[in-house]
């Protein structure tokens, strides 16, 4: 009888080791699945919400710029709106590239007499408006 007890004990140890390995593999697969699900489902929704907030902030800046008394003031308000809009976006967001260009222009002397600067601000603003039209229509 003592021989059968000694033979059963190693068998239980091997079975317990297999359960631990299988449990570890199952937990790893579940964690990997959670990361993939977050990257495919949750993160795009978060990015879309950030884009909507940024577009609404930029549109508010444009609305203020329309009421500016002069062109230099309007340029300043547009670039300030772009700076506010770009704060919440990821650095590699496609929308953020043009917003950052406009935000950096805020640091320059925005003179209405500089036709090239006015054309640049208008060009970047139109790019952002085009992207925002797509984003805001999709929400």
Between 9 and 39, name the one with better pLDDT. 39
Residue in the block written with tokens 């950096």 = 104
Q: Would you give the distance in Å from CA 98 to the centre of its chain?
A: 15
Q: Which domain holds residue 76?
A: 2-138
Q: How many angstroms separate the CA atoms of 49 and 139, rounded?
A: 9
> Residue ranges of the alpha helices (H) in 67-114?
71-86, 94-105
Count of the separate structural domains present in the chain: 1
20-75 tens-digit pLDDT: 899 999 999 999 999 999 999 998 888 888 899 999 999 999 999 999 888 888 88
Q: Which residues contact 112 (CB under 8 A, 6 or more apart)?
A: 70, 71, 72, 75, 118
pTM higher than 0.75: no
């Amino acid at each position: 009888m003592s021989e059968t007890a000694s033979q059963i004990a190693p068998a239980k140890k091997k079975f317990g080791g297999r359960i631990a390995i299988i449990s570890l593999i199952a937990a790893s697969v579940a964690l990997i699945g959670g990361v993939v699900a977050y990257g495919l489902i949750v993160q795009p929704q978060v990015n879309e919400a950030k884009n909507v907030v940024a577009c609404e902030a930029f549109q508010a800046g444009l609305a203020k710029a329309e009421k500016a008394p002069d062109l230099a003031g309007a340029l300043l308000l547009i670039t300030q709106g772009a700076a506010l809009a770009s704060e919440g976006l990821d650095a590699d967001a496609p929308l953020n590239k043009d917003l950052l260009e406009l935000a950096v222009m805020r640091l320059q002397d925005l003179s209405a007499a500089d036709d090239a600067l006015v054309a640049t601000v208008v060009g970047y603003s139109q790019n952002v408006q085009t992207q925002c039209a797509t984003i805001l229509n999709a929400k």
